[in-house]
Amino acid sequence: MMINHELKVIERMSAGSGLSLGFEDLIILGVSIDSRTIKPGNLFVPIIRDLDGHDYVSDAISKGAIASFWQKDRPNPPDHVPLIYVDDCLEALQKLATEYRRELQIKVIGITGSNGKTTTKEMLNSVLQTKFRVHKTEGNLNSQIGVPLTILGIDKDAEIAVIEMGMTERGQIEQLSRITHPDIAVITMIGVSHLSSLGSREQIAAAKLEIINGLKNGGCFVFQGDEPLLNKELNNRNISIETISFGQGDFNDVIAENTISCSDGSQFSVANQMYYLPLLGMHNINNALAAIAIALRLGLNSSEINEGFTQLKLPNMRFEKMNSPLGFTIINDAWNASPDSVNAAITTFQELTGYGEKHLVIGDMLELGDDEIEFHRVVGRNLDPNKINYIYTCGDLSSHIASEAKRRYPLEAVMTFKDQIILANTLKQKIKKNDVILLKASRGMQIDLIIPSLMN
């Protein structure tokens, strides 16, 4: 089961102090940072963010928490409550997770990358479950808080953990890698997400490559070999680790051949073994290659891998197909957007067959730094009026997509909006039975909010 220790052990593992003697033998079962979802037996960790978790310690205890951390610089700790005093609650949570990881007899697969992290995680979970007991990152728990919580939720009888790692700045992936101490580290791809904070793709690649800093001795690094920045950085570092590259270039260790696109997926071969992936797009084949490389290294065969692919289910808003009762199809790919993911989604959308007219609804791509306008213009330049019939942009930045698209599209086929209600009403007037709509935008744009009005 999840972490299950006496409080005196938790105090030692988290480098805490001050636990009253009468509470030392109490046993915690699991960890929570949210008093609203406390389960009996939990240790409560009062993280300080927009709200101060210390204001909710008493509430957490009343709901069944056994004990709580308490940051030493916070005033007025509650009386008669089992408290472990720490210098910093987030650091204590991370230390606790690091120590618990050392107790686990488990293989850890750590995954990062600009795009494709969640999809690759879900592929690996689905495939590896055919042979192993697998624990995976749930939801978007891939942060400095989420990864420690994921580690602390691992049952001791699990055999493999698949852990997603996200970042916003340099140093964060290294921190998460040292906490998780992966046996296998994966970089799905290098894009331009976080360009506004990191400044260049070179810096993004360096930040993602921090994942190998916590890699176990004898560990394996799996990466997209088509990315020159990764190859260059690896050569510069002269690191002695096992590497497996995947991608489309024939110089990679794992490549897809004989690719055939089907109505709801892709068929391809790897080393003369056939695979069927129930997802569209070459970007998803690349994600699948990473999963196949790892599965083969862990002893699975192609039949087991294919069985796992058939059971694959992705979270919502990742090229999620929805059939309207009015007879058209909505593809919701609005979980997030970057130039790379937008290009992949549009390419896949253009290749779809069996529909009437195609309608692209695209919102702003955020966090792209000084070149954000040019990134949007490039998307507009690449749109093909022979493959996508109508363009609807929503947001200030995406208006630059429309400006470029108008150079090749009929004026009435490209529309710009700032109001989602007007956008949805316009779409409803344009859309016909058997048409298909793709929604794509950064999460902050919440472009998916137009879906309910389109379904009625």
Confidence (pLDDT) at 252: 97
Mean pLDDT within 88-102: 98
> What are the Cα distances from residue 259, in Å, to 95, 256, 272?
46, 7, 12
Residue pair 158/129 in contact by the 8 Å Cβ criterion: no
Confidence (pLDDT) at 116: 95
pLDDT exceeds cutoff 80 at 1:
no
**Are residues 153 and 297 both part of a single domain?**
yes
Confidence (pLDDT) at 266: 94
**Are residues 405 and 296 both part of a single domain?**
no
**Are residues 408 and 429 both part of a single domain?**
yes
**Are residues 159 and 178 both part of a single domain?**
yes
| 99: in domain | no
**Are residues 359 and 334 both part of a single domain?**
yes
Burial (CB < 10 A; 0-12, 13-18, 19+), residue 286, is buried
**Are residues 440 and 389 both part of a single domain?**
yes
Domain boundary among 310, 331, 353: 310
Tokens describing residue 124: 């690996």
| 97: in domain | no
Q: Pick from 407, 410, 416: which is nearest to 389 by CA? A: 410
Residue pair 286/275 in contact by the 8 Å Cβ criterion: no
Confidence (pLDDT) at 77: 96
Domain residues for the domain of 9 are 4-88
Question: In the structure, how many helices (H) and strands (E) does the chain have?
Answer: 16, 22
Domain boundary among 31, 55, 88: 88
pLDDT confidence band for 195 (50 / 70 / 90): confident
- 235 or 429, greater pLDDT: 429
Burial string for 404-441 (b: 16+ CB within 10 Å, else e) reads bbeeebeeebbbbbeebeebbeebeebbeeebbbbbbb
Residue pair 153/30 in contact by the 8 Å Cβ criterion: yes
The CATH number assigned to the domain holding 29 equals: 3.40.1390.10
**Are residues 383 and 443 both part of a single domain?**
yes
Half-sphere exposure of 241 (CA within 13 A, CB side): 25
**Are residues 362 and 339 both part of a single domain?**
yes
Q: Pick from 49, 56, 51, 44: which is nearest to 86 by CA? A: 44
Confidence (pLDDT) at 236: 80
Residue pair 325/357 in contact by the 8 Å Cβ criterion: no
Mean pLDDT within 435-449: 96
Confidence (pLDDT) at 251: 95
Beta strands per DSSP E along 217-304: 220-224, 242-247, 254-255, 257-261, 266-270, 273-277
Share of the chain above pLDDT 70, in %: 100
pLDDT exceeds cutoff 80 at 239:
no
Mean pLDDT within 412-436: 96
Mean pLDDT within 48-69: 97
Enter the pTM of the model.
Answer: 0.93
pLDDT exceeds cutoff 90 at 287:
yes
Confidence (pLDDT) at 233: 85
| 443: in domain | yes
Domain count, the chain: 3
| 427: in domain | yes
Partners of 268 in beta bridges: 275
Confidence (pLDDT) at 237: 78
Which stretches of 146-281 are DSSP H helices?
Answer: 146-152, 172-180, 195-198, 201-208, 228-237
| 244: in domain | yes
**Are residues 434 and 328 both part of a single domain?**
yes
Mean pLDDT within 261-282: 93
Confidence (pLDDT) at 193: 82
The CATH number assigned to the domain holding 280 equals: 3.40.1190.10
Q: In which element (H, E) is residue 9 found?
A: helix 7-13
Using alpha carbons only, give the angle 186, 274, 256 rounded to the nearest 5 degrees. 45
Mean pLDDT within 99-110: 97
Lowest mean pLDDT among 231-240, 288-297, 439-448: 231-240
**Are residues 75 and 182 both part of a single domain?**
no
Across the chain, mean pLDDT equals: 95
Neighbours of 382 (CB within 10 A): 15
Confidence (pLDDT) at 264: 86
pLDDT tens-digit profile of 116-175?
A: 999 999 999 999 999 999 999 998 899 999 999 999 999 999 999 999 999 999 999 999
**Are residues 259 and 325 both part of a single domain?**
no
User: Which backbone phi and psi does 43 adopt, to 5 degrees?
Assistant: -90, 130
What is the side-by-side order of every strand in the sheet holding 184-187? 134-136, 160-164, 107-112, 184-187, 220-224, 242-247, 254-255
Mean pLDDT within 74-81: 94
Confidence (pLDDT) at 240: 81
Domain boundary among 262, 281, 310: 310
Distance between CA atoms of 2 and 156, rounded to whole angstroms?
Answer: 7
pLDDT exceeds cutoff 90 at 235:
no
pLDDT exceeds cutoff 90 at 41:
yes
pLDDT exceeds cutoff 90 at 7:
yes
**Are residues 109 and 244 both part of a single domain?**
yes
| 84: in domain | yes
